[in-house]
Every structure is written in C-alpha cells, then in structure tokens.
C-alpha cells in the first residue's frame, strides 16, 4: 500500500482493535506494522488477531509486519494486610522474603535475585517510580530502606531497580512459552523486554531459531550503557521511553532517544520510538499540542517508526490516532527544515561494495531526474542500506521472499513489492520498471535507479547499479541480450 510519507507507523492491537473491519481500516489509514502485546490476551486471542492481519494482508495484497512484544520478568511486591499503606518521606521501610502480609513497616519482595544484587545507596522505585526508596542496609534476604519520595504502596505494585544489573534473564518462563508460540505462528519481529546485556539478545535469538527478527527494547539504564553491544546483537531497536523515564531522571530521556536513533541509523537497523506518543487520544479524539510536537521530534530525528500503544489497543479513537500520526508525518516530511536536519545528520559509513553502491544510488537519484531507487533484496540488507542513506526519492524494495517484504515494513521509506526469483540482471531491470509504474511512482517516460546483487537470491552480494528507463522497450533495445 503506497504511503505519502517515509516514517512507518506501528499500531498495537487490543480490545478496541481486534476485528477484521477495524484492523483493515487501521492499515488503510496508515498502520504499517501491528504489535501484539504478549502482556495482555490469551494465546487464542493472539492467534485470532494474527490470522486477521494475514487475511487483511492477502485481501489488500500489501505486506504487513507483525511484531510480538514479550512481557519480560515482572518484579512486584507482595500483598498488604490492609491492601495498601501510606509511606511518608523519611520513614523506614523493610523489604524481605517473608510472605506474611505487609504493614506500614515492611512487605515481602519475593525476588531473592534483587537482594543478591543490591548494595547500600541503591534505589528501589515502586509503582512506576511514584514511590522511591533508598537502601541503607541489605543482606541476602532483606533490605532496610529510607523513603525518599512518599506515597501509596499497595498490593502487587511493580518494582524497578535502576542502579544495578540484576542477575535475571530477559526471558521468564512465560516469555519462553510465548516466544515459541508466536514464532510458530509466523510473526516477523520479536520485541525483547528487560534487555540488560547482549547475551540476553543472543539467548532469544537461539530460541527463535531464525523464525523472526529480534528487536531489543531499551528500557533500562544498563541497556543504555551496553547499547553498542546490544545493537550489534539485535536486528532492530525500540526506545521504550516509559520505563526509561521511570528508571532515569526524565530529563535524561530526550538526549538518550536522540543518541540511540542516530546510532541505529548508522548501523542500518530500524528503530522505533515508543510510549505515550498520543496518550491523551485514549480518551480524546484530539491530541495535545505537546504530543504532536513529541511525534514530530521523533520524525525530525529520522526514526524509522513511531508507535501507538494503548491509543490503538484500548482507546476510544484508534483510527483517529493512526490518522493523526500519518498527518503529522506528512506535514513534517514536507517541511524544508526536515530535509536540512536529515541532510546534516547523514553519516558516511563506507566499508563495503554494497555501501558504495547505495551511496552512489542516492547521489545519482538526487542529482538527476530519477523517480525511485529500486533495490532487489533477499535478506532485506540492501534495502536497509538504501534506507540508511535517507534518499529523497522513494525506495522500492523488490524481493521474492514474503518474510523479507514483511520485515521491511518497519524500515524507513521502503515500499515492498513481491517479485519472482530472477536469474538475469536484465529481467531485474524490467521487473523494477514495471513495479515503479504499477505502484504509481513513475511513468513510461521516467528513469529509475536499479541496484542488485549477482548472483541473485544470495544475501550480501549487492554489486550492480544501473540507471534505467521505465519503458521496458528501451531496456530491451539498449540491452538486447
């Protein structure tokens, strides 16, 4: 489905968006990727939504990426005798392994791995950081704390530990079962929560066995510190600003977002900016001006995708939320300042023949009257390299592999077209010309740039660039062989 923008939109599905009619309308309005949140919904519900997406994809003949987002380990306090307690600033409070219902003085924290990692001076954040504790003294079965930000603590509230790397795997037992289930369904991307180190990504990749691409969620300070290694081990990144804003001072999040987006662009790996982008649209048909500015900022930074969470999953206005993102994206990308920002942040990274080919393709396209860059790709790597260049002409990614077309739905500026397997470059040029015309990017009088690798259907072989007419009769005339 042809879009009039380059940034991609990820929409989370849920109770407000689970029917065929709604999912189809979301895609037609602008959603390129659908997120299945494994924290909510049974396997049967997830399977039903997956099947509907694939049916919409078939009916509209439009590749759609499906992203399954694993829950990750959930650290929570136990229960209180009174259900909840008020903790005042400066008060003492104890966390321990005793399952006895909690009081105003203590509560169970049934996670010995946390006590094993704690040190005096570390901080514990409860209920999304609304309540903050400082560890004064700790052992393997308890931590005596001082309340440094008071408030209500109640049953099963979540706990964040920002100051230490916890000896916890990113995959809980539930995550392992969910991973196997969604990989068997055939999702395209697997989002991994609670990533602290590259080894967490490698473990998920081994369990996945190549059935889906791995996208790491950066939501912990440890992940920010180890980002270079995590990025190298991952196929994509999500900047999960909600948890980052809990575990780090909120003023730290915007510069972190900007740095991570730039590093992902340099690595030619897709990056999603997520969390609270249009949160007011859960209840309102109109966003706040601050939210619109937030979405626009991510687009100006050159992110590959922007994401809706509860706005499309449980909100009252899922279609309006997607339409708002689409409208903001088109307005930003038509702003001359956008071109200036992207141009100034373009990074030269020329280490291979493929790097040189795609850089030349962009330069030729922008210096002459070229209508599109058409790249043939097996794994999606060539299209990702072209997208890293952030060209101002459309990118048409042609592939014979449905899975590759789906995964590229997350990559900036790519329009994916299915093509048959090829053996000769001339046929590739003809197919590219036909696709550019059929998809509405060019007509018979225009020219395109074509990149491909010979031999065909082999990853990492991009080694040819040609400027070609869109009139296939001219292609055969100039290349009769």
Is residue 78 a part of any domain in this protein?
no
Against a cut of 0.85, is the pTM above it? yes
Mark whether 98 and 34 lie in a shared domain.
Answer: no
Active-site entry in 3, 24, 76, 402 = 76
Instruction: Please indicate, yes or no, whether residues 302 and 416 belong to a single structural domain of this protein.
Output: no
Q: Which of 8, 132, 241, 275 is catalytic?
A: 275
Cβ(377)–Cβ(361) under 8 Å? no
In the prediction, which pLDDT does 286 show? 97
Quote the pLDDT of residue 273.
98
Tens of pLDDT, residue by residue over 22-47, are 999 999 999 999 999 999 989 999 99
Residue 3, domain member (yes or no): no
Is residue 386 within 8 Å of residue 366, measured between CB atoms?
no
User: Are 231 and 270 in the same domain?
Assistant: yes
Q: Can 437 be counted among the known catalytic residues?
A: no
Using CB atoms within 10 A of its CB, is residue 44 exposed (0-12), middle (13-18) or buried (19+)? exposed
Look at residue 456 in the predicted model and tell me its pLDDT: 73
Residues 269, 234: one domain?
yes
Q: Is residue 289 located within the same domain as residue 360?
A: no
β-strands 92-96, 142-149: how paired?
Answer: antiparallel
Q: Classify residue 77: in a domain, yes or no.
A: no
Q: What is the per-residue pLDDT for 350?
A: 67
Domain count for the chain, please give it: 3
Task: Tell whether 423 and 451 lie within a shared domain.
Answer: yes
Same domain, 384 and 413: yes
Task: Tell me the CATH number at 108.
Answer: 2.40.33.10
Of the candidates 205, 217, 406, 466, the residue annotated as catalytic is 217
Q: Among candidates 50, 20, 21, 19, which has minimal Cα distance to 34?
A: 50
Q: Is residue 103 domain-resident? A: yes
Pairing of strands 8-13, 33-37: parallel
Q: Is residue 343 part of a domain?
A: no
Task: Please state, as a whole number, how many other Cβ atoms lie within 10 Å of the Cβ of residue 250.
Answer: 11
- pLDDT, residue 454, reads 76
154/184 same-domain check:
no
Can you give the pLDDT at residue 35?
98
Q: Is 35 a catalytic residue?
A: yes
Which one of 5, 8, 35, 205 is the catalytic residue? 35
Structural domain contains residue 105: yes
Question: Do 355 and 349 contact (CB within 8 A), yes or no?
Answer: yes
Domain assignment present for residue 348? The answer is no
* Structural domain range at position 106: 84-160
Residue 425: left if φ>0, alpha if ψ -120 to 50, beta else—which one? alpha
244 and 364 together in one domain:
no
Please give the helix or strand (H or E) that residue 323 lies within, else none: helix 318-333
Residue of 122, 128, 130, 71 whose CA lies nearest to 95: 122
Q: Indicate if 208 and 98 belong to the same structural domain.
A: no
What percent of the chain lies above the pLDDT cut of 70?
Answer: 98
Last residue of a domain, one of 160, 189, 216: 160
Task: Quote the DSSP letter at residue 409.
Answer: G
Which helix (H) or strand (E) segment holds residue 215: the answer is: strand 213-218
- pLDDT at res. 479: 62
CATH number at residue 446: 3.40.1380.20
Of 374, 356, 463, 376, nearest to 422 by C-alpha is: 376
Q: What is the 3-state secondary structure (H, E, C) of 182-196?
A: HHHHCCCEEEECCCC
Q: How far is CA 301 from the centre of its chain?
A: 15
Confirm whether 440 is domain-assigned. yes
Claim to verify: residue 93 and residue 233 sit in the same structural domain:
no
Per-residue pLDDT of the chain (481 residues; tens, 9 = 90+): 899 999 999 999 999 999 999 999 999 999 999 999 999 989 999 999 999 999 999 999 999 999 999 999 999 999 999 999 999 999 999 999 999 999 999 999 999 999 999 999 999 999 988 999 999 999 999 999 999 999 999 999 999 999 888 888 899 999 999 999 999 999 999 999 999 999 999 999 999 999 999 999 999 999 999 999 999 999 999 999 988 999 999 999 999 999 999 999 999 999 999 999 999 999 999 999 999 999 999 999 999 999 999 999 999 999 999 999 999 999 999 999 999 999 888 776 667 888 899 999 999 998 999 999 999 999 999 999 999 999 999 999 999 999 999 999 999 999 999 998 877 888 889 999 999 999 999 999 999 999 988 777 666 678 889 999 998 888 776 664 4
402 is catalytic: no
Q: Is 275 a catalytic residue?
A: yes
Q: Tokens in use for 68?
A: 């399954």
Q: What is the pLDDT of residues 221-280, one digit of tens each?
A: 999 999 999 999 999 999 999 889 999 999 999 999 999 999 999 999 999 999 999 999
CB 375 within 8 Å of CB 395: yes
CA 2, 278, 8 angle in degrees (round to 5)? 25
Q: How far apart are CA 297 and CA 409, in angstroms?
A: 21
| Amino acid 462: pLDDT | 82
C-alpha 295/C-alpha 302 separation (Å) is 11
The per-residue pLDDT for 481 is 47
Write down which residue in 307, 335, 363 finishes a domain: 335
Burial of 263 by CB count in 10 Å (0-12 exposed, 13-18 middle, 19+ buried)? middle
> What CATH number corresponds to the domain at position 20?
3.20.20.60
Residues 286 and 430 in one domain: no
Determine the pLDDT at residue 478.
64
């Amino acid at each position: 489905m042809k879009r009039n923008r380059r940034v991609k939109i990820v929409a989370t599905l849920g109770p407000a968006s689970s029917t065929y009619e709604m999912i189809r309308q979301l895609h037609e309005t602008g959603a390129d990727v659908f997120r299945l949140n494994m924290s909510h919904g049974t396997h049967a519900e997830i399977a039903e939504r997956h099947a509907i997406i694939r049916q919409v994809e078939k009916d509209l003949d439009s590749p759609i990426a499906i992203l399954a987002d694993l829950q990750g380990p959930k650290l929570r306090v136990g229960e209180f005798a009174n259900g909840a307690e008020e903790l005042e600033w400066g008060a003492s409070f104890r966390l321990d392994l005793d399952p006895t219902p909690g009081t105003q003085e203590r509560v169970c924290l049934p996670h010995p791995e946390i006590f094993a990692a704690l040190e005096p001076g570390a901080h514990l954040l409860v209920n999304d950081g609304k309540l903050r504790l400082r560890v004064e003294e700790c052992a393997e079965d308890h931590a005596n704390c001082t309340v440094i930000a008071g408030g209500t603590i109640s049953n099963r509230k979540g706990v964040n530990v920002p100051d230490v790397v916890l000896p916890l795997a990113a995959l809980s037992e539930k995550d392992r079962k969910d991973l196997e289930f969604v990989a068997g369904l055939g999702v395209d991307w697997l989002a991994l929560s609670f990533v602290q180190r590259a080894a967490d990504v490698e473990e998920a990749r081994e369990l996945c066995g190549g059935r889906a691409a791995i996208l790491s969620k950066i939501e912990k300070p440890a992940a920010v510190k180890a980002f270079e290694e995590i990025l190298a081990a991952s196929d994509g990144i999500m900047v999960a600003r909600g948890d980052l804003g809990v575990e780090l001072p909120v003023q730290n999040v915007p510069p972190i977002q900007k740095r991570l987006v730039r590093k992902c662009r340099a690595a030619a790996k897709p990056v999603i900016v997520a969390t609270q982008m249009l949160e007011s649209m859960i209840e309102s048909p109109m966003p706040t001006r601050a939210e619109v500015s937030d979405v626009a900022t991510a687009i100006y930074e050159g992110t590959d995708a922007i994401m809706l969470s509860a706005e499309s999953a449980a909100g009252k206005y899922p279609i309006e939320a997607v339409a708002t993102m689409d409208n903001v994206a088109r307005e930003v990308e038509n702003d001359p300042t956008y071109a200036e920002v992207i141009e100034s942040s373009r990074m030269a990274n020329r280490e291979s023949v493929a790097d040189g080919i795609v850089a030349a393709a962009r330069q030729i396209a922008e210096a002459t009257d070229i209508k599109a860059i058409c790249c043939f790709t097996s794994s999606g790597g060539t299209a990702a390299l072209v997208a890293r260049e952030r060209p101002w002409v459309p990118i048409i990614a042609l592939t014979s592999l449905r899975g590759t077309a789906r995964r590229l739905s997350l990559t900036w500026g790519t329009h994916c077209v299915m093509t048959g397997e090829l053996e000769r470059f001339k046929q590739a040029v003809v197919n590219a010309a036909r696709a550019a015309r059929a998809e509405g990017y060019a007509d018979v009088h225009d020219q395109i740039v074509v990149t491909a690798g010979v031999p065909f259907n082999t990853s990492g072989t991009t080694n040819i660039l040609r400027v070609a007419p869109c009139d296939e009769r001219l292609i055969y005339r100039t290349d009769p062989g």
